Amino acid sequence: MKIKAIRFAKLKVPLVTPFKTALREVSSIEDLVVLIETDCGQLGYGAAASTPVITGDTHQSMLAVIQQFIAPKLVGLEIENLNHVCHVIQSTVAGNYSAKAALELAVYDLWGKLYQAPLYKLLGGGSKTLRTDITISVDHIDKMLSDSQLAIEQGFDVLKIKIGNDLQQDIARVKAIYAGFAEQAQLRLDVNQGWSAKQTVYALQQLENSGVVLELVEQPVKSDDIQGLKYISQRVNTPIMADESAFSAKQVINLLELNAVDIINIKLMKAGGLSHAIAIADITAQYQAKCMIGCMLEGSIAVAGAAHLAAAKSQQISKIDLDGPALGCYDPVQGGVDFNGPAIILSDAPGLGIESIDTLEEINNGVWRQ
């Protein structure tokens, strides 16, 4: 199975409710879709969202770097030589993590189709059923409480609370949500780099002293403040998780060597694809640290790849944060992974299992052929 051509398309899905964090506000899922054609007629699917404030990638930059630099080196390569294909993707240009992740997703999809097996089985097997949390966007307290109530009614039992834009209001938000829903759901906090180290210690000590029990707090400080993460971890009981501080395997090793965090959040778009995400999961196993599998605000193409990885690496990836598709008004992807509220059910079809995609808008000038 040889790579014959690489095509591109856009996919847009409106959100049920705007997605708000300390860093941004978004009203729709917008993915750049990568389609890799092979000489035997198979099609591999990959996708990535535009996240300029997180990874630095935009749709325009991803399209440009793939067309100008990576695609010319990929066309003609054999999918069976998976490690070599991934090496070409990773080594041709520096950075550009989301572009690389989208390409790797399509390559791994084809690898599964080559061997006629679902991706999670090729990666090691595991349960085909996962359970995700759901994100509660930062907002005024009444809105966050009503969003939490709706999530509970939809069957979610883990709420990921977005905060980080006002310390005292954040503390009040968490106390109110905990008082209303602690008996029905676990709470995770995502501060999105919104606090300083001292503010984090103050806030968590206030919450802990009030009896609030949190499953974890995600990335409270700026991504480069590793000493800040360590400062926090030494002073609070609540587990601390690195997200934007943990892009690469090298960064993960540094975090764990310093005992700066308790948990690592793996995202394909940060790691640059499945090959590096697998490496990070394996590294955390050596340090006896746990992982969460997360996503940017992506649709079900990219999140399907993360779900397959989570199933195959379930001993390490014990926390699932793959609610991106559940936040959309509909899922345009036919086949593949079934995202049904908190339940994620993997297909046993080859690769990612995707059959077709509705409302896919092909980019006419985006085809790269040999």
Mean pLDDT of the chain: 95
- Write out pLDDT tens, residues 155-209: 999 999 999 989 999 999 999 999 999 999 999 999 999 999 999 999 999 999 9
For 121-355, the fitting CATH number among 3.30.70.60, 3.40.50.970, 1.10.240.10, 3.20.20.120 is 3.20.20.120
The three-class DSSP label of residue 84 is: helix
CA distance 115 to 298: 27
Q: What is the Cα gyration radius of the chain?
A: 20
Query: C-alpha distances in angstroms, 311 versus 24, 289, 293, 325?
Result: 30, 17, 10, 17
22 band by pLDDT with thresholds 50, 70 and 90: low
What's the whole-number mean pLDDT along residues 285-292? 96
* Annotation says 162 is catalytic: yes
Whether the pLDDT of residue 365 is over 70: the answer is no
Query: CATH 3.20.20.120 spans which residues of the chain?
Result: 121-355
Query: CATH 3.30.390.10 spans which residues of the chain?
Result: 3-116+358-369
* Annotation says 73 is catalytic: no
Superfamily of domain 3-116+358-369: Enolase-like, N-terminal domain (3.30.390.10)
Measured CA angle at 342 (ends 337, 343), to 5 deg = 40
Select which of 20, 160, 267, 270 is catalytic: 267
pTM over the 0.75 mark = yes
Per-residue pLDDT at 327: 86
Q: What is the DSSP letter of 21?
A: -
The three-class DSSP label of residue 252 is: helix
Select which of 20, 162, 270, 290 is catalytic: 162
Per-residue pLDDT at 2: 97
- HSE of 96, CA atoms in CB hemisphere, 13 A: 23
